[in-house]
């Protein structure tokens, strides 16, 4: 079966499960027009301002952060378990140093509504336009979470920024959502 339109919030819990498993790539694309894939596992799907929204959390030390700051769109791409190696590479190597498309052989292709590319090999794609952002302030964050996830980063002032992307298009091969 090919990719068909998915209406929010259908399959949202399955998508969060796949996100949790680290099988999602966020593609960012900056001023130079070159896309870059980064593995993500933290995020949310929500309904806000009467819109379906995907929230991505990007640490400000990432190459992806630079791209997100230069653009107002991003895409979210769900991959099957067979792409374990590619997901691992995109979650450990940085676009500052390597061309992840060359290293993985994943294919960036045109999206329907946004400039930022989607990934052809993904069985499900989401196209997003950023409508709100906020920086994570340490003063507002639970202390145990700071100790667990940010202790060594506080001095370097790195933290996550939340990007709220209105879901403009969502499509996929729904037969693969549960099987992968
Ligand atoms: C399973 C997994 C999940 C990850 N989730 C996130 C995430 O949600 N946000 C984030 O900023 N980095 C996350 N990372 C780390 C980035 O993927 C990693 O630092 C990557 O090399 C950054 O690439 P870039 O510099 O090209 O943006 C994750 C890594 C892995 C392996």
Residue spans per domain, the chain: 4-174
Query: Residues 107, 119: contact at Cβ < 8 Å?
Result: yes
- Residue 121 is predicted with a pLDDT of 98
- Residue 178 is predicted with a pLDDT of 77
The helix/strand/coil state of 114 is coil
Q: In angstroms, what CA-CA distances link 31 with 63, 69, 75, 125, 175?
A: 13, 10, 16, 22, 36
Using alpha carbons, select from 75, 66, 71 the residue that is nearest to residue 110. Answer: 75
Report how far residue 33's alpha carbon sits from residue 28's, in angstroms, rounded to the nearest whole number. Answer: 9
Please name the fold of domain 4-174. Answer: Pnp Oxidase; Chain A (2.30.110)
Interval between CA 105 and ligand 1 midpoint (Å): 19
pLDDT tens figures, 23-80: 999 999 999 999 999 999 999 999 999 999 999 999 999 999 999 999 999 999 999 9
pLDDT tens figures, 82-126: 999 999 999 999 999 999 999 999 999 999 999 999 999 999 999
Phi/psi of residue 87, nearest 5 degrees: -65, -40
Pocket test for ligand 1, best of 19, 76, 78, 91 (most atoms within 8 A of CB): 91
> What is the chain's length?
180
pLDDT > 60? residue 180: no
Bridge partners, 52 (sequence order)? 47
Phi/psi of residue 122, nearest 5 degrees: -70, 140
Using alpha carbons, select from 178, 8, 152 the residue that is nearest to residue 76. Answer: 8
pTM of the model: 0.97
Phi/psi of residue 22, nearest 5 degrees: 75, 35
pLDDT tens figures, 144-157: 998 888 877 666 56
- Residue 179 is predicted with a pLDDT of 60
The helix/strand/coil state of 162 is strand
**In the structure, what pLDDT confidence band is assigned to residue 1 with cuts at 50, 70 and 90?**
confident
CA atoms within 13 A on the CB side of 139: 0
Tokens of residue 92, six digits: 């450990």
Report how far residue 105's alpha carbon sits from residue 142's, in angstroms, rounded to the nearest whole number. Answer: 40
Q: Whose CA is nearest to atom 18 of ligand 1?
A: 91
Pocket test for ligand 1, best of 17, 19, 40, 63 (most atoms within 8 A of CB): 40
């Amino acid at each position: 079966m090919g990719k068909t339109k998915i209406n929010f919030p259908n399959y949202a819990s399955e998508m969060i499960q796949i996100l949790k498993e680290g099988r999602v790539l966020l593609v960012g694309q900056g001023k130079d027009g070159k896309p870059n894939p980064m593995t993500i596992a933290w995020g949310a799907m929500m309904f806000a301002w009467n819109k379906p929204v995907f929230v991505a959390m990007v640490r400000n030390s990432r190459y992806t952060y630079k791209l997100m700051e230069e653009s107002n769109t991003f895409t979210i791409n769900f991959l099957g378990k067979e792409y374990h190696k590619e997901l691992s590479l995109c979650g450990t190597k940085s676009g500052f140093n390597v061309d992840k498309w060359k290293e993985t052989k994943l294919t960036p292709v045109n999206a329907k509504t946004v400039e930022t590319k989607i990934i052809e090999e993904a069985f499900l794609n989401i196209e997003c336009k950023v409508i709100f952002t906020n920086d994570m302030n340490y003063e507002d964050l639970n202390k145990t979470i700071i100790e667990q996830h940010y202790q060594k980063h506080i001095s370097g002032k790195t933290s996550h920024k939340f990007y709220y992307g209105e879901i403009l298009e969502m499509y996929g091969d729904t037969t693969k959502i549960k099987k992968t």
